[in-house]
Amino acid sequence: MAGEIAWISHYDDDYLQKETEDFDLDLVEEIDKEVNAVSVDVILPDDLLERILSYLPLASIFRASCVCKRWNATAERFLWNPSYLLPQKPWYFMFTSSDEPTGHAYDPNLRKCRTKLFVCNPITKGCRKLLRPPGMSSDYGALAISVDKESHGYIVAVVKSKQVPENVFQWDISIHIYNSKEEAWATPLTEVLTGWRGGDESVMCNGMLYFVVYYTGGVLPENRHALVAYNISSRSSQASLGFIPIPCSLTLTCARLMNMKEKLVMVGGIGKHDRPDIIKGIGIWVLHDRKWEEIVRMPNKYFQGFGEFDDVFASSGVDDLIYIQSYGSPALLTFDMNIKQWKWSQKCPVTKRFPLQLFTGFCFEPRLEISP
């Protein structure tokens, strides 16, 4: 399609070589002969050059550093003081669920995909492997991470859920917290839930850990899903779990949680009243004082655009941007919470190789100054 930008790697040497080969050097020579131009770079002050480069996406800054020594020195100043850079939109990493997974990272600034991704600090080139959290093995586990942008420290939370032996209704729940400053795990809470089990969905927001629990039997609730809150900022040993109901007018097929500028946002699949396991739409809600406010529902044309949509799906978001993806397709839809706009991403190069192949992913904020 004309004008369509492909998802490519920004570190693809073949692509860069092709771009160079396609450039008409003869045309440049003719222009040089006819026009006695003055290089803007010669008369441009350093502060203006920094301002201009700061508008570039992160990958383009690295590429611009190869232009000349002056641009390279400017790019190095960004590396050592990333505060000069303008905020970057969150990226989305999509990968296949298979024995040999492959993945691509989508950058909404350039609407392109990066095929090389490392969990590390690009400045120090350092990475860290955390120790296994203590406690029991689990049947289900949920992982959440929160980063302090000022101190650059981070907290990792793991919620484990394991069925009590010989009891189908009771589940052991344990919460494990890792603090990068202390470089150690703590287990502030262990509890037994009756009729509910944990899953794989959790998030930290405003000092609270939220995770989704699922109905397993007993007294029939209004909804098969519920939200549990735990105050991780409290040092009290008396802290307990608090249940927050899902809107009773809805029957959710799944619930995805995300921290959007310290507001708890839920993207949920809306099930049919007579067949709650069949999805009929997707909605977005924000939690205010233990009450849910509906923000928007996905227009039917976008919902139908996914093709066959399962009752569960992948969704995550940062700042104002939410990503939604079907497990059965690499199609990726975005919603901007600020301008209330739905938009499809460009087609991802990940292809479906067999009918039952699954896709999933998560988004992340590209940062230079955070050390793992």
Give Cα separations from 202 to 143, 157, 228, 255, 257 (angstroms).
6, 9, 9, 10, 6
pLDDT for res 315:
92
pLDDT for res 21:
45
Say what percent of the chain tops pLDDT 70. Answer: 67
Q: How far apart (Å, rounded) are the C-alpha atoms in residues 73 and 311?
A: 51
Q: How far apart (Å, rounded) are the C-alpha atoms in residues 241 and 232?
A: 11
pLDDT for res 121:
45
Question: How would you list the strands of the sheet with 321-326, edge to edge?
Answer: 313-318, 321-326, 332-336, 341-344
R_g of the chain, CA atoms, integer Å = 24
Q: How far apart (Å, rounded) are the C-alpha atoms in residues 43 and 35?
A: 18
pLDDT for res 12:
42
pLDDT at 18 over 60: no
Q: How far apart (Å, rounded) are the C-alpha atoms in residues 286 and 263?
A: 7
Say what percent of the chain tops pLDDT 90. Answer: 25
Task: Judge contact between 168 and 146, C-beta under 8 A.
Answer: no
Q: How far apart (Å, rounded) are the C-alpha atoms in residues 156 and 130?
A: 10
**Rounded mean pLDDT, 152-180:** 89
Task: Give the pLDDT band (50/70/90) at residue 336.
Answer: very high
pLDDT at 350 over 80: no
215/38: higher pLDDT: 215
Q: Which of 63, 149, 114, 142 is nearest to 365 (CA)?
A: 149
Task: Give the pLDDT band (50/70/90) at residue 66.
Answer: confident
Cβ burial of 39 (10 Å; 0-12, 13-18, 19+) is exposed
